[in-house]
Structure 1
Amino acid sequence: MAFTSLQEILDTCEKDRIPFCEAVLQDDLNERGVTREDSRKQMAALWQAMWDAAGSYKENERSRSGLVGGQGGIMEKYLAEHEPLSGAFAGQVIAGALKMGECNACMKRIVAAPTAGACGVLPAVLVPYVKKYEPEEEKVLDALYTAAGIGQVIAARAYIAGASGGCQAEIGTASAMAAGVLVALHGGSEKAIIHAAAMAIKNLLGLVCDPVAGLVEVPCVKRNVVGAMNALSSADMALAGIESRIPPDQVIDAMKEVGDQMNSSLKETGLGGLAGTPFGKEVAENFLGK
């Protein structure tokens, strides 16, 4: 049976003396009835697709609406000519999130992690990390199982879709997964992994889903940046030994409660929030004839 709580994964790790990733992998083998080789082969294919997607960006491409495109290139140029306030590594994370979000808006092949609208968060932290620290591929795959376990629990206890729980469910979940990946890759404990995920969710609690004209472009692309940077800070806090004062599973439950109370105009309908501004309405009218 699939895990339904982060504490359950943690308890399994302690009982069987296995790492977080192994508990998730074993659960996958039992749940889908596949071999270890098949499971890891599938995860390797996802990682390769993510890596390829990160390299597929073209600065001159624009989305059909014309709202996004080229900003990842602008950020890369800035990084080449200036020292970013957030630091070189964080600057690469920002550029990566912009580029991947724009690739999605331009209908290029991406990896939904956990959704297309949040596809930029995980690769934005993972690709620069791999380039800088050069971990073995098997270690990267292990970290992706960690991400999968976090996403699985959130999907079971709350939401991962903006239409159900707001952008906290999409970017929030992606940020939690990315925070867990960073802690796992950087040698953090299983307990640190779930607290990094919890802090990432807490920081984005209540984030609405208000896409202009209903398109996954504005403000979605830049929110991928926020999710990735939030993952960085949450991972560093967890690696330092800082924990969420609210138990991680209770944080996820709180996200569900907030999502349930959120007005439908703020859950991917393209009606409220930024979509409801005069500019947002003008874009919808011009592009969609509304």
Structure 2
Amino acid sequence: MYNFKTLSELVELAKKENLSIVDIIIEREKGLTNKSEDEIRAKMGKALEVMREAIDTGLTENIKSTSGLSGGDAKLLVDAQRKGNTVTGMVLSSAISKAIAVAEVNAAMGRIVAVPTAGSCGILPGALLAVAEAKDLTDEVIIDGLFVASGIGLIIDKQATVSGAEGGCQAECGSAAAMAAGAIVYMLGGNEEQVLDAVAIALKNILGLICDPVGGLVEVPCIKRNAGGASNALTAAELALAGIKSHIPADEVIIAMKKVGEFLPPQLKETSLGGLAVTPTGCKIKEELLSK
């Protein structure tokens, strides 16, 4: 079984064994689960199905969270797209709407894939599937991208954290954006170094982001941060594929993210005791929720 703790180790191992990053990740999974490659790919295919179902639900159905704080924003974006009212163009607008759709389904207690967490669940599927649709990529290519994303997420979790309670929203939305950015670069034919550059850029862009859920719910500002995370992923992938390097290596960025998270006070790490959660409107929303 192949073992790796850092992104550089993963890339070096792939080069040494003359295998792709996807091959290394699948071989590791085979060693852990005693399942065949076909079984492992089929399981990832099921995860892709759940992602698509969540997007479809969020974009087409009139969903609403129990709190009433979220639901319907993804459909508003789709309506704007149909009218040609987009500022960013169809790929980015599609990624944003898909990301919000999944996050709204999560808030309404629907089925999602937590990649890497429920709070950041829309970023990876939103960004990946928007690009896949625009580039007419096959499911096999998308699934390969999901394996790359899983390897990136595994390494971030080993070296730092993907938990908002431990590292702030940089650990959730930042990790999700990094996973998506690296996966997109891989799906579009980028090399290993470009994958790592995309990861580094995405994480750098969101370094220090706090976790401050209003009323303790994963809705405000979490859902809109999924849109921001999808945008971040596409930006990082665009830069990396153009050959733009990250001066700070991805593994060092991951460690920096961990240290920043350690510096953040508890009030800014999912406790709802700081940031937007304690604004006058945030406090009012919390009181209204508690009175229900």
Normalising by the smaller structure, the TM-score range is: over 0.9
Aligned twin of 1:30: 31
Look up the equivalent residue of 1:181 and give its one-letter code: A
Q: Once structures 1 and 2 are overlaid, which stretch shifts more, 43-52 or 110-119?
A: 43-52
Could you give the per-residue CA deviations for residues 250-277 of structure 1, whole angstroms, max 9, x where no partner exists?
Answer: 1000000000110101111111000011
The CA distance in 2 between the partners of 1:74 and 1:207, in whole Å, is: 27
Could you give the per-residue CA deviations for residues 28-69 of structure 1, whole angstroms, max 9, x where no partner exists?
Answer: 112333221221111111111111111112453211111111
The residue correspondences of 1:189-204 to structure 2 (distance < 5 A) are 189-204=191-206
| Shift in Å, 1:140 | 1.4
Q: Once structures 1 and 2 are overlaid, which stretch shifts more, 210-219 or 40-49?
A: 40-49
Look up the equivalent residue of 2:105 and give its one-letter code: C
Q: Unaligned 5+ residue runs, structure 2?
A: none
Residues 59, 72 of structure 1: 8 Å contact kept: no
Residues 59, 71 of structure 1: 8 Å contact kept: no
The residue correspondences of 1:221-236 to structure 2 (distance < 5 A) are 221-236=223-238
The CA distance in 1 between the partners of 2:21 and 2:163, in whole Å, is: 25
Partner secondary structure for residue 118 of structure 2: coil
Q: Once structures 1 and 2 are overlaid, which stretch shifts more, 22-31 or 143-152?
A: 22-31
Partner secondary structure for residue 56 of structure 1: helix
The CA distance in 2 between the partners of 1:202 and 1:128, in whole Å, is: 23
* 1:286 maps to which of 273, 285, 288: 288
Backbone CA RMSD of aligned residues: 1.4
2:66 is aligned with 1:55: no
Q: Unaligned 5+ residue runs, structure 1?
A: none
Look up the equivalent residue of 2:287 and give its one-letter code: E
TM, length-normalised to structure 1: 0.96
2:124 is aligned with 1:122: yes
| Shift in Å, 1:14 | 1.2
Could you give the per-residue CA deviations for residues 3-22 of structure 1, whole angstroms, max 9, x where no partner exists?
Answer: 21000001011111211111
| Shift in Å, 1:289 | 4.9
Aligned twin of 2:4: 3
The CA distance in 2 between the partners of 1:50 and 1:16, in whole Å, is: 32
| Shift in Å, 1:90 | 0.9
The CA distance in 2 between the partners of 1:245 and 1:60, in whole Å, is: 45
| Shift in Å, 1:187 | 0.6
| Shift in Å, 1:136 | 2.1
2:190 is aligned with 1:184: no
2:216 is aligned with 1:206: no
Give the aligned length.
290
Could you give the per-residue CA deviations for residues 137-179 of structure 1, whole angstroms, max 9, x where no partner exists?
Answer: 2211111110000000000000101011000000000000110
Runs of 4+ residues deviating >4 angstroms: none
Q: Percent identity?
A: 42
Could you give the per-residue CA deviations for residues 189-220 of structure 1, whole angstroms, max 9, x where no partner exists?
Answer: 01111110111000000000000000000000
The CA distance in 1 between the partners of 2:84 and 2:54, in whole Å, is: 26
Q: Once structures 1 and 2 are overlaid, which stretch shifts more, 207-216 or 76-85?
A: 76-85
* 1:68 maps to which of 55, 67, 70: 70
The CA distance in 1 between the partners of 2:127 and 2:148, in whole Å, is: 14
